[in-house]
Amino acid sequence: MRIRWIMCGACATNFIISPPFSIPCPWLNQPTRRPSVSRSAGLLTETVNFQQQHMHQESIPPPRPRAWVRWASVLAVCISSFFIHGGAPEVSLMEARNFVAAREMVAGGSWLIPTMNGELRLAKPPLPTWAVAGLQTLIGPTENLALLRLPAAVVATLLVLFFWGLALELTRSLPGEEENPGRTAWLGALALGSSLLVVTTGREGQWDIFAVSLMVGALWLLVKGWQHTGRAWGWLAGAGVLGGLSLLSKGPVALYTVLFPFLLVYLVGYPQHRQQVRRQLPGTLLGLGLLLAIGCSWPLYIYQHVAPAAVTVARTEISSWGERHVKPFWFYAPFAVFTGIWALVALVSLVWPYARPRLQHYIPYVLALGWVLVSLLLLSLVPEKKERYMLPLMPPLALLVAGMVRYWEAAVAAKQATRSDQGVLRAWGIILLVVCLAVPIALLIIDLPGTKGLRFWASLLVFGGIGVYVMRQVRLPQPTALIGASLTGMSALLILLLPFYPLWERRRDTAGLRQMRDIRRHVALQSMRWYSLDTLHVKQVWAAGRAVPIWHIPAGISYALKHREVPAGPVAVFSAAPLKARLPLAWRNAGFGITQVDSFYLGGKRESGYWVVGVLSRNRHISP
């Protein structure tokens, strides 16, 4: 193949073409002519290198949607990812703890010293609980999970927007921005908002999404302030405020997993960034002061008022890092899979020899990869591991995904995609085809209410359409088309199939078992105070709709009378063991008795165990 040099006299720009093709001049509407050139081997090598380095000059850039289109697309992804069918999954353990504490705040408890089932709740900072309690203060007490999860959904949306702003700052000066300003950051926001772990965490009203979202916002304002040419007091002060709120969400966790890894790579690997920080040192110190002042305010208040309990909780939490949920060092190895629809792209972007020469034109590849790897290392060093703890890895992975698809867009447009590029794009398309085929088949196989009706035909239409759209590009799928198909498919999965998730979870439950919610309808118990003789699981406390504090019945009736632990009237008692042996002899001799009136199962199966409910009264009994 003959490769020729061409210089356009109008723009003095070199182009490389291979006959019989011609490349249009960027200034003229006519193709340039091909003069004869040397065919030496040295020139061939030089022109190939030139071709790789300046491919962006030859490519046909992807379309540039208007600003409102970009905003609308990001918000649409966030709505489908975090808001639609918000009440579908059942309440999780972490949510139950948060919602119970918020319920007791609204019911008249302390907002600064939270309680959970009547006992101090100091293990987690209160900002997420304040958000749920504040919502209930505005709309009234509610157990609607879709409403109670709104604060988490809003904060998850802020995470996407914060990351969008951060990605804009990180890519602003790169050559790829000249072709299509802001496209890389926009694609990164779409990727983050549709990543599997971000979706699942953003749909749960717990602590992780608050801590990570607010700390990413702090990173955005930090970078924006440091890159500002003049004084940036406002930006850096805002970074300190968001960082402090992150500390009020889950303590120093986000400092360790988000802020420190980013700053380590951002400052150590780039001398120009250190110069920016030195120039903005006064504002940076202001932000640091605000972060510490806000983040440490609640712990200091707790230490001043309930110091013994605070010290005990702190020791328990620290010891739990090495004792509870202990997993091997390599537990987080498949972290890229948790990006969901972007898993293949994320995996490819981590391969240094392949990705670095391709992505560095569009994103700061060393920064993004270093951010991922340092965060992964720090997470892996902690013995306690859970899947949701990988949430801090999702923003840098989204940046890598955005850079990868930006390169593929340019390579395919310039018809310079290598065999490796084409192979990965085809694999991406095949995965989408398999998913589009599997969803309707799964709905036919799964025997759940509603899977064979209108929802099935809607799924068949949507996923069939996506499949046909992708199949039309089997020869060489267009990256932009694959992005659209992936986002549409993820949104369709959430909108059409998420309502079946609770039914899937309960598919093997035994029908007719009494649950805690049935106990709430027991007329005779509704006007009584409720106590638990054993530690009641917090999910059962949430289902009870009220606090069920634990009550250790004193062995001696005289001690109980002295300390006012004898109920004035009948009370409901919950027990994990038969009630007959739970009442001390002295109480029985004083005329007290417990009558069993009901029972309930802890789960949907008989194997989950059951509790009994009785009424403690003096010389009187109550019937169900």
The predicted pLDDT at position 621 comes to: 43
Counting the structural domains of the chain, the total is: 3
CA angle 482, 155, 459 (to 5 degrees): 40
- Whether 47 is in a domain gets the answer no
The mean per-residue pLDDT over the stretch 63-84 comes to: 91
- Whether 456 is in a domain gets the answer yes
380 and 429 share one domain: no
- Whether 337 is in a domain gets the answer yes
Q: What tokens were used for 525? A: 């118990």
pLDDT at 356 over 50: yes
- The H-or-E segment that residue 618 falls in is strand 610-618
Q: Report residue 258 CA to chain centroid gap.
A: 13
- The H-or-E segment that residue 250 falls in is helix 233-250
Could you say which of 370, 395, 414 is where a domain stops? 414
- Whether 492 is in a domain gets the answer yes
Question: In the structure, what pLDDT confidence band is assigned to residue 585 with cuts at 50, 70 and 90?
Answer: confident
397 and 492 share one domain: no
Question: In the structure, what pLDDT confidence band is assigned to residue 45 with cuts at 50, 70 and 90?
Answer: very low
Question: In the structure, what pLDDT confidence band is assigned to residue 555 with cuts at 50, 70 and 90?
Answer: confident
410 and 425 share one domain: no
Q: What tokens were used for 241? A: 């405020």
437 and 556 share one domain: no
Could you say which of 414, 430, 448 is where a domain stops? 414
Q: How far apart are CA 574 and CA 504, in angstroms?
A: 30
- Whether 163 is in a domain gets the answer yes
158 and 267 share one domain: yes
pLDDT at 208 over 80: yes
Residues in the chain: 624
The mean per-residue pLDDT over the stretch 387-396 comes to: 96
For the chain, give percent helix, strand, coil, nearest 5.
Answer: 60, 5, 30
The predicted pLDDT at position 508 comes to: 82
Amino acid identity, position 554: P
pLDDT at 14 over 60: no
- The H-or-E segment that residue 240 falls in is helix 233-250
Q: Work out the angle between the directed axes of helices 365-381 and 394-413 (0-180°, nearest 10).
A: 150
455 and 526 share one domain: no
pLDDT tens digit sequence for 135-155:
999 999 999 999 999 999 999
Do 176 and 184 contact (CB within 8 A), yes or no? yes
555 and 494 share one domain: no
256 and 130 share one domain: yes
Question: In the structure, what pLDDT confidence band is assigned to residue 338 with cuts at 50, 70 and 90?
Answer: very high
Q: How far apart are CA 568 and CA 583, in angstroms?
A: 17
- Whether 67 is in a domain gets the answer no
Question: In the structure, what pLDDT confidence band is assigned to residue 497 with cuts at 50, 70 and 90?
Answer: confident
Residue 538, domain extent: 516-618
Do 459 and 470 contact (CB within 8 A), yes or no? no
pLDDT tens digit sequence for 210-235:
999 999 999 999 999 999 988 899 99
358 and 270 share one domain: yes
CA separation, residue 237 to residues 240, 242, 256, 274, 475 (Å): 5, 9, 20, 19, 52
237 and 88 share one domain: yes
Higher per-residue confidence, 2 vs 90: 90
For every residue of 457-501, DSSP letters joined together read HHHHHHHHHHHHHHHTT-SS--HHHHHHHHHHHHHHIIIIIGGGH
Q: Among residues of the chain, what percentage have pLDDT more than 70?
A: 88
Average pLDDT value over all residues in the chain: 86
The predicted pLDDT at position 500 comes to: 83
The mean per-residue pLDDT over the stretch 352-360 comes to: 95
pLDDT tens digit sequence for 440-472:
888 888 877 767 778 888 888 999 999 999 888
pLDDT at 314 over 90: no
Could you say which of 414, 448, 473 is where a domain stops? 414
Question: In the structure, what pLDDT confidence band is assigned to residue 495 with cuts at 50, 70 and 90?
Answer: very high
395 and 480 share one domain: no
304 and 438 share one domain: no
The mean per-residue pLDDT over the stretch 576-583 comes to: 87
